[in-house]
Amino acid sequence: MSAPSANRPVNKRVLMLATCLCDAYFDDAAQATVEVLEHLGCTIEFPEAQTCCGQPAFNSGDWPSSRRVVRHTAKVFAGTAPIIVPSASCAAMLVHGAPLEFEKEADKGEIDALSNRAWELADFIVNGLGVKKWPGKYQAKIAFHTSCHSRGTQSGQATLTLLSSIEGVEVMAFGEGEQCCGFGGTFSVTFPNISKGMGDLKLEHVRAAHPDVLVSGDSSCLMHLSGLAEKEGKPIKTLHFAQILRDALKNGGMLAN
Amino acid sequence: MSVSPIDGFAANLKQETHDAVYKSTKVTHEKRTKLLFDHFPDANRLREIAGEIKQHVIENLDTYLPKVEEKLKANGVQVHWAATAEDANQAVLNIMRKRNATKIVKAKTMVSEETELTHFLEKNGVECLETDLGEFIVQIDHDHPSHIVRPIIHKSRREVAVSFEKNGLGAYNDDPNVITQRARVFLRQKYLQADVGLTGANFVVAESGRLVLVTNEGNSRFSLAATKCHIAMVGIEKILPRDRDLPLLLNLLARSATAQQLTVYTEFITGPRKSTQVDGPDEMHVIFVDNGRIDVLASDCRDILRCIRCGACLNVCPVYRQASGHAYRSVYPGPVGAVLSPLLAKERFPELADLPKASSLCGACQEVCPVNIPIPDLLLRLRDKNKQAHGPSAGTPPMGAWSILASQPTAWKAAMAMGGAVNYVPRILMPGPLRKWQDVRTLPPWKGGAFRKWLKNRPTKKS
């Protein structure tokens, strides 16, 4: 996967792409994203007309359908402000996927412009705003799942930098950490056995590290893993890293409860 | 429930096979990574450079192919061109008939798996013997290789011992050393009886006409030393521009394939035996095989032709580890196979339409590829191609209606509000994909629109 370009805009007036998963299921992860960014002095604009990044159709091979959604996103997120995404996967769709499926399209230029403004949340905090130490405290042993869409980007390392800087956090290493959790969007329903096999392996490794909570920058991985664990009757606690950052601020008295 | 044949294979894979494949791919991958990054300060840059070299070759094949032909001929090698698998097999048979040859010993070559050479020769009365230990076991078992580098990764030593016994190679004994010794004794005499030795080539250098072969068993050396005629069957993409490109590619190949610094045997062959040399074949042929590669070159998936057949992408792939190689129903399994096999299958593409989908797009394959092939991008391109060609959906849910919803904000918001029904509808009434999701996982409670509501109503809103 191509790395994000080096000259993405850094600005504290940001647009937020909340992602369809946060819109539908993980409202608190999106809420935490807002609170974390505001703590850093950012002004957040949330374009109401936003929907999804277009990745489900892109990965399914229905590129015309995906392009329709990406064009909508480009329209809704017009401007020059950085676009902050609390998901490495959706950020990668904007940074890498969209330009790929627009290779032969007349409006590739507009899509490249959109792509060049996209930041995954941790990447923006650490590499955009230069914040490498997170204040507050959070008492927990954390297993951090580096999602695959953090490959070839700086997001995985950035998230780890933030999490491990929090007072009270102990980041627990676990086996085969670089392996995919088996979600993969529609892959999880078209290849149910393989997807489950991959997920079970991930859970086995995570459980062996005895963390208090499994954390990731992608709610989709967490939805898959916690769904598997719960169905098995052995639920695990999962949180988006933005929730950890936000709760650390609250615990440190830097944010009202 | 499985909708993809590959997923079905995974579901029915014997636990013993699963464990053998998982363990051995994992170990090789981990060793490979350690070796590569311990030895080179910027191994990833090396992968990129190797990729650029191979990309340069495939984009300039029209100049390299005549050049390499000229060099080979100058070295005393006879050059043949085979457009199809049949042409390639026929070329081998013609060479043999001309020499009244009836026996051939074969080193491991993937392109001959592609053309099903062994089967073809046996049908035409030629005694054809695989000399790579893994391929030999595949042959006596009438099985198929399940890995590019380790053909019998799916077999346990107990299974091998059983087939040795069945084939008259001694009473049951599953000690790997005993198995290897028995194969060795059996194969030795066969080399001496054979008329022709057939190999592939890992690289053919354009500037020198030099063939490079890497093996760990020395079987290709044996077949070259013992026979009077050497035939190399080579895919047209195997060319390297210069001899000085070899160190980089050989260093990457051995580490990526088997986690070795260098394979045990690396042979550099520049033509048949010269008058000053004691041993070696008097006659040498190179058969360049297209078999669909030109079509791949013309497609937007041409980058796959950089592949040097190391198998690192198979070893790291979580799907390959779960499903094993036979699930891919083609000569090339794993991520590289998921791209290459449907392309080489041409009109049989629909039969293999599930291959490009057999990936969570995790990107591990590109990360380990010694020639940095953007395999996930190519998988995505093939998915798009299949959809555009109205190929089989291979279980992928349709996205058209969703995309209309996702480009109309009012409808989207309404759907978010109404989606709460998911929390209450019985599973039986759910749409297919959602039900399939719930077969093995629970769904979190639907909170559609909750974030938007919070954002709008919160008292502390700053902006």
Q: Which domains does chain B have, with CATH numbers?
A: 5-10+294-388 (1.10.1060.10), 66-291 (3.40.50.10420), 409-457 (no CATH)
Q: Which of A162, A170, A154 shows the shortest CA–CA distance to A134?
A: A162
pLDDT of residue B421: 75
pLDDT of residue A156: 95
- Name the region of A47 (left: φ>0; alpha: ψ -120 to 50; beta: rest): beta
* Residue at which a domain ends, from A127, A157, A176: A127
Task: Determine, for residues B362 and A186 on separate chains, whether the beta-carbon distance falls below 8 Å.
Answer: no
Task: From first to last of the 463 residues of chain B, give the pLDDT tens digit.
Answer: 557 899 999 999 999 999 999 999 999 999 999 999 999 999 999 999 999 999 999 999 999 999 999 999 999 999 999 999 999 999 999 999 999 999 999 999 999 999 999 999 999 999 999 999 999 999 999 999 999 999 999 999 999 999 999 999 999 999 999 999 999 999 999 999 999 999 999 999 999 999 999 999 999 998 888 899 999 999 999 999 999 999 999 999 999 999 999 999 999 999 999 999 888 899 999 999 999 999 999 999 999 999 999 999 999 999 999 999 999 999 999 999 999 999 999 888 889 999 999 999 999 999 999 999 999 999 999 999 999 988 888 888 888 888 888 999 998 888 888 888 777 777 666 677 778 888 889 999 999 999 999 999 987 655 4
Give Cβ neighbours of residue B28 (< 8 Å, ≥ 6 apart): B258, B259, B315
A95 contacts in chain B (CB < 8 Å) = none
**Which residue among B1, B323, B443 sits closest to A227, beta carbon to beta carbon?**
B443
Task: Determine, for residues B440 and A191 on separate chains, whether the beta-carbon distance falls below 8 Å.
Answer: no
Helices of type H across B131-175: 133-140, 157-166
Residue type, A34: V
Work out whether strand B203-205 and strand B210-215 pair parallel, antiparallel, or are unpaired.
antiparallel
**Which residue among A23, A188, A197 sits closest to B448, beta carbon to beta carbon?**
A23
Task: From first to last of the 257 residues of chain A, give the pLDDT tens digit.
Answer: 667 777 899 999 999 999 999 999 999 999 999 999 999 999 999 999 999 999 999 999 999 999 999 999 999 999 999 999 999 999 999 999 999 999 999 999 999 999 999 999 999 999 999 999 999 999 999 999 999 988 778 999 999 999 999 999 999 999 999 999 999 999 999 999 999 999 999 999 999 999 999 999 999 999 999 999 999 999 999 999 999 999 999 999 999 87
Q: In the numeric block, which tokens belong to residue A2?
A: 């191509």
In a domain, A257, yes or no: no
Interface test with A, best of B380, B438, B451, B463 (most A CBs within 10 A): B451
Question: Looking at the whole model, is its pTM more than 0.90?
Answer: yes
B462/A contact by beta carbon, under 8 A: yes
Complex confidence, ipTM:
0.95
Q: Are residues A138 and A167 in the same domain?
A: yes
CATH number assigned to the domain comprising residue A208: 3.40.50.11810
pLDDT of residue B460: 62
Domain tally for chain A? 2
B397/A contact by beta carbon, under 8 A: yes
B460 contacts in chain A (CB < 8 Å) = 256
In a domain, A4, yes or no: no
Q: Are residues A115 and A165 in the same domain?
A: no
Phi, psi of B356 (to 5 degrees): -65, -15
Q: What angle do CA A100, A7, A99 make, to 5 degrees?
A: 10
In a domain, A3, yes or no: no
In a domain, A1, yes or no: no
B11 contacts in chain A (CB < 8 Å) = 193
Strand ranges (DSSP E) for A196-242?
213-216, 238-240
Q: Are residues A99 and A165 in the same domain?
A: no
Q: Are residues A149 and A242 in the same domain?
A: yes
Q: Are residues A181 and A103 in the same domain?
A: no
Alpha carbons B340 and B296: distance in angstroms, whole number? 8
**Which residue among A46, A151, A227 sits closest to B455, beta carbon to beta carbon?**
A46
Residue type, B11: A
Strand partners, B78: B285
pLDDT of residue B9: 95
Task: Determine, for residues B384 and A61 on separate chains, whether the beta-carbon distance falls below 8 Å.
Answer: yes
Q: Are residues A138 and A244 in the same domain?
A: yes
Task: Determine, for residues B463 and A231 on separate chains, whether the beta-carbon distance falls below 8 Å.
Answer: no
In the three-class reduction of DSSP (H, G, I as helix; E, B as strand; rest coil), residue B241 is classed as coil
Q: Are residues A183 and A120 in the same domain?
A: no
Q: In the numeric block, which tokens belong to residue A9?
A: 């805009």
* Residue at which a domain ends, from A95, A127, A159: A127
Task: Determine, for residues B358 and A194 on separate chains, whether the beta-carbon distance falls below 8 Å.
Answer: yes
Task: Determine, for residues A191 and B10 on separate chains, whether the beta-carbon distance falls below 8 Å.
Answer: yes
In a domain, A237, yes or no: yes
In a domain, A2, yes or no: no
Interface test with B, best of A26, A60, A93 (most B CBs within 10 A): A60
* Residue at which a domain ends, from A127, A142, A174: A127
Give Cβ neighbours of residue B96 (< 8 Å, ≥ 6 apart): B102, B104, B121, B126, B195, B196
Alpha carbons B338 and B344: distance in angstroms, whole number? 11
Q: Are residues A24 and A119 in the same domain?
A: yes
Q: Are residues A122 and A139 in the same domain?
A: no
- Domain of residue A119 covers 13-127
Residue B363 contacts residue A151 (beta carbons within 8 Å): yes
pLDDT of residue B391: 86
Q: Are residues A122 and A136 in the same domain?
A: no
Q: State pLDDT tens for residues B282-299.
A: 999 999 999 999 999 999
Count residue pairs from A and B with Cβ separation < 8 A: 219
B447/A contact by beta carbon, under 8 A: yes
Reading across the β-sheet that carries B283-289, which strands appear in turn? B78-82, B283-289, B229-235, B196-199, B103-106, B127-130
Task: Determine, for residues B380 and A188 on separate chains, whether the beta-carbon distance falls below 8 Å.
Answer: no
Tokens 């190519």 -> residue: B378
**Which residue among A69, A149, A192 sits closest to B436, beta carbon to beta carbon?**
A192
Q: Which of B366, B384, B379 shows the shortest CA–CA distance to B328?
A: B379
pLDDT of residue B461: 54
Residue type, B395: G
Q: Are residues A68 and A158 in the same domain?
A: no
Q: Are residues A55 and A94 in the same domain?
A: yes
**Chain B CA closest to residue A59:** B380
**Which residue among A25, A57, A182 sits closest to B447, beta carbon to beta carbon?**
A25
Give Cβ neighbours of residue B227 (< 8 Å, ≥ 6 apart): B105, B191, B194, B195, B196, B197, B281
Work out whether strand B265-269 and strand B210-215 pair parallel, antiparallel, or are unpaired.
antiparallel
In a domain, A8, yes or no: no
Tokens 């053998």 -> residue: B20
In a domain, A196, yes or no: yes
B360/A contact by beta carbon, under 8 A: yes
